[in-house]
């Protein structure tokens, strides 16, 4: 299964691959070069298909847990001063996604969407300390009964050139359901209350909608 954000790119890539294959077959006589080009075309197509995959998963909703919004690796667990919405200290948990990870963004918690804002910006590498405040990004705050306000931020990276955000203020967020997509490598930061019990460790691999980042 592929995510809807990839349908156009996948179709375009397939048509380009077919076209290039036909051209190679017609105009290149050297069989070794032909095989090499065919392999390159196939690898590129497979990489695109893999990037936009959206595997079926079974989710268990839990109002006392914060789930990872994305697949990837935990790269930051620290106390920070959040200056866009809270204007106070929060626990930040950041998950970095390589181009090989599933890039669907999911709601980490259920509740009412209180804040959703897009910020244009730079394309620093996603693990850069200033990426959270200077890169293209979207910030979403969900008010959950058990937690209060929970923020997550989609951040474009050096390769990612488009952040897609479905969250609209006033709508209901359902834990683990699709909230957006980031194309080609990126990061998501989650901002939690200081008394939150973090249940992951640095460099731990996590799965979106499944791995629990924190509990009450």
Phi first, then psi: what are they for 73, rounded to 5°?
Answer: -130, 135
Distance of CA 12 to the CA centre of its chain: 22
- Same domain, residue pair 38 and 105: no
What is the pLDDT at residue 124? 63
Cβ count near 89 (within 10 Å): 13
**Is the pLDDT score of 160 beyond 60?**
no
Q: Is residue 188 in a domain?
A: yes
| Interacting residues of 46 by C-beta distance below 8 A, sequence separation 6+ | none
Model confidence at 65, in pLDDT bands (50, 70, 90)? very high
- Same domain, residue pair 71 and 162: yes
pLDDT digits 0-9 by tens, 131-150: 566 678 899 999 999 999 99
What is the pLDDT at residue 102? 86
- Residue 70 maps to which CATH number? 2.70.70
Q: Which domain holds residue 12?
A: 4-51
Decide if 65 is catalytic: no
DSSP string, 70-124: SSEEEEEEEEEEETTTT-EEEEEEEEEE-TTS--EEE-SS-EEEEEEEEE--B--
- Same domain, residue pair 149 and 199: yes
Q: Is residue 60 in a domain?
A: no
pLDDT digits 0-9 by tens, 68-98: 999 999 999 999 999 999 999 999 999 998 8
Mean per-residue pLDDT of the chain: 89
pLDDT digits 0-9 by tens, 24-52: 988 898 999 999 999 999 999 888 887 77
Q: Count of domains in the chain?
A: 2
DSSP string, 127-191: TSTTHHHHBSEEEEEEEETTTEEEEEEEEE-SS--EEEE---TTSEE-TTSEEEEEESSEEEEEE
């Amino acid at each position: 299964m592929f995510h809807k954000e990839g349908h156009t790119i996948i179709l375009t890539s397939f048509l380009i691959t077919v076209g290039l294959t036909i051209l190679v077959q017609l105009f290149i006589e050297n069989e070794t070069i032909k095989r090499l080009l065919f392999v390159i075309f196939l690898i590129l197509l497979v990489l695109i298909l893999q990037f936009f995959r959206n595997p079926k998963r079974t989710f268990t909703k839990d109002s006392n847990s914060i789930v990872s919004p994305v697949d990837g690796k935990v790269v930051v667990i620290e106390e920070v001063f959040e200056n866009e919405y809270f204007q106070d200290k929060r626990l930040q948990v950041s998950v970095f996604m390589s181009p090989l990870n599933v890039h669907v963004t999911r709601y980490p918690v259920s509740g009412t969407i209180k804040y959703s804002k897009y910020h244009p910006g730079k394309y620093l590498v996603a693990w850069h300390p200033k990426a959270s405040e200077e890169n293209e990004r979207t910030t979403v705050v969900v008010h959950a009964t058990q937690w209060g306000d929970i923020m997550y931020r989609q951040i474009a990276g050096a390769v990612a050139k488009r952040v897609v955000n479905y969250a609209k203020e006033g709508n209901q967020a359902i834990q683990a359901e699709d909230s957006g997509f980031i194309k080609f490598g990126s990061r998501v930061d989650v901002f939690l209350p200081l008394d939150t019990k973090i249940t992951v460790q640095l460099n731990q691999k996590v799965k979106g909608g499944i791995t629990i980042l924190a509990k009450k």
